[in-house]
Chains A and B, each alone.
Chain A
Amino acid sequence: MSGGGGALLEVRGLEVRFPVRVRGRRRALRAVDGLDLEIGPGETLALVGESGCGKSTTARAILRLVEPHAGRIVFEGREITALRGRRLKPVRRRMQVVFQDPYGSLDPRMRVGQIVAEGLVIHRIGTRRERAQKVARLLERVGLDPRCADRYPHAFSGGQRQRIGIARALALDPSFIVCDEAVSALDVSIQAQVLNLLAELQRERGMAYLFIAHDLAVVRHVAHRVAVMYLGRIVERGPVDAVFERPLHPYTRALLAAIPSADPARRTIGSGARNPWRVAGDPPSPVDPPSGCPYRTRCPVAVAACAEPPIPRVEAAPGHVAWCRRPDAEPAPAHGDSQGAHL
C-alpha cells in the first residue's frame, strides 16, 4: 500500500518527540517513533495500547495539533504535514475530533447552539438562519431536543454532552473524525447508546474514524481494523477479527490476556492458572526505549536477538502484520501468584 491507493489518510514514518529533562539533562521523549498507518474512506481504524504508548499523540499529530518531528501525513490525496495558517484551514474542516471528557471539552460559557455552530461561523458557512437550522438538525440527529441549543452545557449529563460534542464534530461535514476515548468516561448503558450512534452516523455519512480506546471489547465492536501500539510504535495491525482471534505479537496477547473474563465460571484472576502471556510491571520509559523490539524487556518469549534491529515483519494473512522475531513461540506456563502479594 505504498502509494496510498484509495486511502483517505496515509501516515508514513511519523515521529513526534517532546523535550524533557531527566535528572537535569535535556532528553527527547519519543512519543511516536516511526509510525505508518492508513485509513480508507468510511473505515474505522482502532488504535489501542496503554497510557503513554503514543496513541493520542499520533492522533494530535494527524490533526496537526502537535508538530511532527519527521514523517508524512497525506489526507484526501494532499500532503498536509507542513501546511500552516490559511492553507491548513480547509483541511481542518474535513477532520474533526470528539474528546474523552464530556465535561472539559465544552466551553461552559457558550450555549449549546453556539458550540455546535462555532465551526460554521469560523468557516463563514451559511447565514445566521441557515446555521441555526443546521444546528437544530444536528442536535436532532444525535438524539437531543433541538431546543437544547439555548441551554448551557452544565444542564446536560455526560452522555448528552458527548452527543453535543458529536454534533459539533459533524457540523462541517468531515470525512474523518478522531474519537479519542470518546466513550471511555460514559456509563455502560450510555456508552452503548453513543457507540450505536457513531455506527449509524458512519453508515449514513461514510465518515472514517480513528478510534482511540483502551477497552478492547469496545474496539472489537466498532472497528474494522485495529493497530496495537507499544512505546510509540505499531507492533501489530490487521482486521479486527484476525488480530483478536489469531494475535501474532506477544504484546497483543498480553493485552487480550489481561481482560477480565466477564464470566465468573472462567475466572483468570487468582485461579492459579494465570495466562502465561500476561505481563508484569510497567512499560519502560519512552525516553530510553529498548533497542530492537520495544517489548523485549517484558516479553515472555524474547531472546537475545530481539535486541538487534531490524525487527522482522511477519504477515500472517493479507493485511494482518506484526513486527516480531518469534511470533510462533510459546511461553512457559506461569504460576498463579507470580506477581500478586507475597504474604
Chain B
Amino acid sequence: MSAIHPDQVSAAKLAGMMRPPPEPEFDPVTRDGSLVEDPAVRAPLVLGKDTSFNDVTETVCGYIEKGPGRWFWPVFFLVSQVAGLMPLMILYLIITGVGVWGLNNQVDWAWDITNFVFWIGIGHAGTLISAILCLLKQKWRTSINRAAEAMTIFAVICAGTFPGVHIGRVWMAWMLFPIPNSNAIWPNFKSPLLWDVFAVSTYGTVSALFWFMGMIPDFATLRDRAALRIMRASDPSVMKVDRIRCFVYGMLALGWRFSTRHWHRYEKAYILLAGISTPLVLSVHSIVSFDFATSILPGWHTTIFPPYFVAGAIFGGFAMVLLLMIPSRELFPGMKALITLRHLENMAKIILVTGFMVGFAYAMEFFVAWYGGNQYELHVFLYNRVVPDWVDPRGAPYWWAYWSMIICNVVFPQLFWFKACRQSPVVIFIVSVAVTIGMWFERFVIIVTSLHRAFLPGEWHMFFPTPVDILTFVGSCGTFLTLYMLFMRFLPMFAMSEIKAVMPQANPHKH
C-alpha cells in the first residue's frame, strides 16, 4: 500500500488512522458549494473537501438518532392538526351526503376530482426521479430520490382518498374492485374510470415496493449502528431506545448483510423495478387523462391529453419536490452538502423544459379547437376560459382561473432561463409555489370550465366551493405534510448506499 494513493489516504482516515494531507495536484472541481464554470467539469454530488463514507452515514443517521432539531415537534403538532381536518370533513360528508360540497347538476365533478388529479400528478415526480433518471444513469438523482419517492407515496394516499369519497355512497366503494359478491355483479372493464382504479392502486403499490426495497440497506445500517451501541453501552436508558431501533429496523432490514452476492441481485432487481416503473408512471397519468378524453364533453374530448397530462404531472411534481427540499436544506444540519445547488439547478432545468411542454399543450389544444372546426369546442376554449366576461358578454366568469394558470405555469418558469435564478434557492422556491398553484388551477380549468357551460345553455351553472370543499383540500395538504414529517423523523431520508457509491473514493478503478 503506497501512502500517496488518494483512495488509501481517505480510507486510512476512515479507519481513524490519520488525517489526509492536502491534495497536492490541482483540483478543477471547486468543492465549496459553488458550481463549476467549466461545462466539461461536473460539480461534485457530495460537497466537502474530504467528506468520507462515515460522514454520510453520520449525517443521515443523525437525523433519526439525534432528531432534526427543536423546531420539529411544534411544527409537527400544527401540521397534524391541519391533517385532522381531512377525516373530520370526510366524516361530515359521509354522515350528511355529497350536498355538503358545492356540486350541482351541471358541475358534478369539481374540487374532488381537481384535488385527485392534482395530488396524483405530484406523485409522478418521485417515480420519474427514481426510475427514469435511474435508467438514464443520472447520478445526481441519488440524493433526492428517497425523499421524492416518499413524497410520491404520500401524494398517492391523498389522491386516492378523493375518488373514494366522491362516489356518493362511500360504503359501496368496495364495488370499485372486482370482488365476488352475492349479486354476481362485476365491474365494467370497458370504463376508463375502472382503468383508473387499477392504474392508481397499482401505482401506489409498486411505488411503495420500490421505496421499501431502496430502504432495505439503509435500515440495515440503522440496525447495525443500534446493535453496536448496545454492545458497547453502559447507560441502560440509551440502550432501551437502541433496543427498539435494533428490533424495528432489524425487522425492516430483512437480515440484509451487505453481501456482494446479494447486492448483485439487488442491483438487477432495482433496474428491473426502474424499467417497469417507467411505463407504469407514463401509463398512470395517461389513464387519468382518459377519464376526460374518452368523454364527449368539449374541452375534455382531446387526443393530446395523455402526453399533456404526463408532462404536467412531472412539472408539478418537481415543483413539489423543490418545495419540500429547499426548506429541509435550511432546517437540517449538513443537508446542503448532500442536496447541492447542482441538484436544485438540474431540477429547475427540468421545470423549465416540462413547463414548455405544458405551454405547448395549451397552445395546441387551442389550435385544434379552432382547426377542428367544432363550434362547441372552440366556444369552450375561447369563451369559457380565455375571454373575460367584462370584455365580451359570451365570456364566462372563470377567465381569472385560466389566466392564473398561464401566468403560473408558462410565465414564471421563464425565470429559469437565467443562471442566477436557477441557482437561487429563494427564486426556485417562489417559482415552485407558483407552479404548484398553477397546476392546481390547470386541473380546475380543465374540469370546471368545461363542465359548467356545456351544450345546452339552459343547464349552465356556476360552481362555488363550500367551506367543506376548501377544508377537505387544506386537510389533504396537512395529511401530506404530516406523513412527510414522520418520514423525515423515522426513516432514512437519503439513500446512503447509493450516495456512497457515487462519491469519488468509491471508484475502485480511480488512479
Partners in one complex: no
